[in-house]
Structure 1
């Protein structure tokens, strides 16, 4: 789930301002969550508009860091092209050769024990397709659903009713009406779900800052 490149300089500044101790460089470790907010497309913009929180972040994608025994860094995530997959850190940061601004969050101390079971669960979901309906499923996952399921046993993240309506008008965004019309299913208004902005606002995470 991603947002438009032409607004990223502004929105990433907002995201970084909300971090208590942002740093330009950091050492990533297993269990870190990498949030991204850079991509073009009306759907990504519509996602961002209906998933805002008090933290005022503008994230549209999230992945889970895994550090291999040899020290190499990988990211487990679900995306439109690859479904639920494991990619190198560099490929996650620069898909198709485009550099994406990325902000790193880390679980706070009481929740660190959830990391290894979450990685095991994430590995078990690799190979599943992307969930284009955004309705919770056991056979396909969207990006934040993948992370939610990984940490589900530890109850790190919570589901909330989804909305696809413009908060100013109370009407469905036309983008969503068109999207679900093409899928041939009703807009899943009010059904349980999750999103990167909501996860980033969790009090169980601390923001480490932008990862260069």
Structure 2
């Protein structure tokens, strides 16, 4: 049986160790196994926040060509068209590189929180940019030094791992480009 996506399903990306994506690895090191999340807009399209292009809608095939390990979850008891209207309001906006809550644009999980906000209060918590060993990892310190900003430790935000644990989500399966 092939998994069929429905509008407003959430697609979580698991980081593949040593795949060369330092950004995803740093997110996973700080927050957990998931480093990215997208929203299905149909069976064949997704909307998500990307560092390279900002908020975009693209085909599922293109999304899967960039992301190998995709786990899908469905939000229970929501009005999917309302979620999609909210998400699509942000198409073309920039990626929130700073992760500051009041910055322009959105990072991936911030977009999801905004898209569902009229129906569900998704979890947010104090952001972490460290690991089990360090409060702020060398990767994140260098990243924010390049931006000329302080690391936003202590700011309220979201992350894919935390969203995936939300009690109103139901795991529906995995996707691969073989589907």
Structure 1-normalised TM-score? 0.76
Count, aligned residues = 173
Unmatched segments (≥5 aa) in structure 2 = none
1:209 matched to 2:177:
no
1:155 matched to 2:120:
yes
Superposition misfits of 4+ residues, deviation over 3 angstroms:
none
Q: 2:12 aligns with which of 35, 38, 46?
A: 35
1:59 matched to 2:34:
yes
Q: Take 1:73 and 1:156, find their aligned partners in 2: how far apart are those partners? A: 27
Structure 2-normalised TM-score? 0.89
Structure with a larger share of its residues in helix: 1
Unmatched segments (≥5 aa) in structure 1 = 1-23, 53-57
Q: Describe the SS at the equivalent of 1:45.
A: helix
CA 1:138–1:191 in structure 2 vs 1: closer, same or farther (change >3 Å)? Answer: closer
Task: After TM superposition, give the deviation of residue 166 of structure 1 in Å.
Answer: 2.4
Task: After TM superposition, give the deviation of residue 139 of structure 1 in Å.
Answer: 2.7
Q: Take 1:41 and 1:92, find their aligned partners in 2: how far apart are those partners? A: 16
CA 1:93–1:159 in structure 2 vs 1: closer, same or farther (change >3 Å)? Answer: same
Q: Take 1:62 and 1:150, find their aligned partners in 2: how far apart are those partners? A: 12
Deviations 1:122-149 (A, max 9, x none): 1110000111101123631111111111
